Chain A
Amino acid sequence: GEDVEQSLFLSVREGDSSVINCTYTDSSSTYLYWYKQEPGAGLQLLTYIFSNMDMKQDQRLTVLLNKKDKHLSLRIADTQTGDSAIYFCAEGYGGSQGNLIFGKGTKLSVKP
């Protein structure tokens, strides 16, 4: 069956790098996503990666995909207190098979 797993908590100091990890089970997933959820706010898409890519960089964000191990990671460089939030990994198929399958989320706490 489909399942997305994430560790539940991560705590880092301001200025350090954060690495949030995720594993998924469905090898036919076409796209993998990282969403951010702040208290009282909706889900915000941070970045996504197509399944035939290994890496994607977008400013402070680096996504690494190991398709063989079905492992996805999100690295946030120079983590700031404003990055404190819950980060969700999700897998999807794109196109007409639109629904996303989310992990339980990793709560990132950034200490000053």
Chain B
Amino acid sequence: GAGVSQTPSNKVTEKGKYVELRCDPISGHTALYWYRQSLGQGPEFLIYFQGTGAADDSGLPNDRFFAVRPEGSVSTLKIQRTERGDSAVYLCASSPQRNPGYNEQFFGPGTRLTVL
């Protein structure tokens, strides 16, 4: 079956512009996560959705970052007034969240964002 997909795969923008990054999770997965991976670093948690609602947005760095998941499937990460420091690979993951214990997160290939 299809895995997690993310579009675009690459995005180059200018400082100050607005960008949207899209994630299509695996069908039926109720949990969706966004992470950011800077060069030479591990992925860093941004936000977690359970269904349509953001269950934990404690990783969003500031109010320029916002994410939505209006129908509990596709999610969009929105970044306003981009800064050069926002350049990174943005990873999306989904999980079936079937039970209270272990739930594997399946990662997409990421969107590489470059802010000039």
Chain A positions within 8 Å of B, measured between CB atoms, are 4, 30-31, 35, 40-45, 48, 50, 88, 90, 94-105
Question: Is there contact, CB below 8 Å, between B109 and A42?
Answer: yes
Q: Which of B31, B44, B110 contacts A98 (CB 8 A)?
A: B31
Are B40 and A104 interface neighbours, CB within 8 A?
yes
By the criterion CB–CB under 8 Å, are B31 and A88 in contact? no
Complex A-B: 19 CB contacts under 8 Å: A35-B107, A42-B3, A42-B91, A42-B109, A43-B93, A43-B107, A45-B106, A48-B102, A50-B102, A88-B42, A88-B43, A95-B103, A98-B31, A98-B48, A98-B55, A100-B35, A102-B35, A102-B43, A104-B40
User: Is B100 in contact with chain A by the CB < 8 A criterion?
Assistant: yes
Partner of A100, one of B4, B45, B99, B109: B45
| Contact assessment for B107 and A101 in the assembled complex, using a CB-CB cutoff below 8 Å | no
Interface size bracket, B side: 20 to 34
For B56, what are the chain A residues with a Cβ–Cβ distance below 8 Å?
Answer: 97-99
How distant is B85 from chain A, measured CB to nearest CB, in Å?
18
Interface centre among A30, A88, A99, A104, by most B CB within 10 Å? Answer: A99
A102 to B35, CA, bound (A): 10
Cβ of A45 and Cβ of B45 under 8 Å apart? Answer: no
Looking at the complex, which one of A35, A95, A105 makes contact with B101 (CB distance below 8 Å)? A95
Instruction: Tell whether A101 pairs with B102 under 8 Å between CB atoms, given A42-B109, A96-B50.
Output: no
Query: With a CB–CB cut-off of 8 A, which chain B residues contact A31?
Result: 102
- On whether the beta carbons of B110 and A94 are closer than 8 Å, the reply is no
* A94-B109 CB under 8 A given contacts A4-B42, A102-B43: no
A99 near B45: Cβ-Cβ < 8 Å: yes
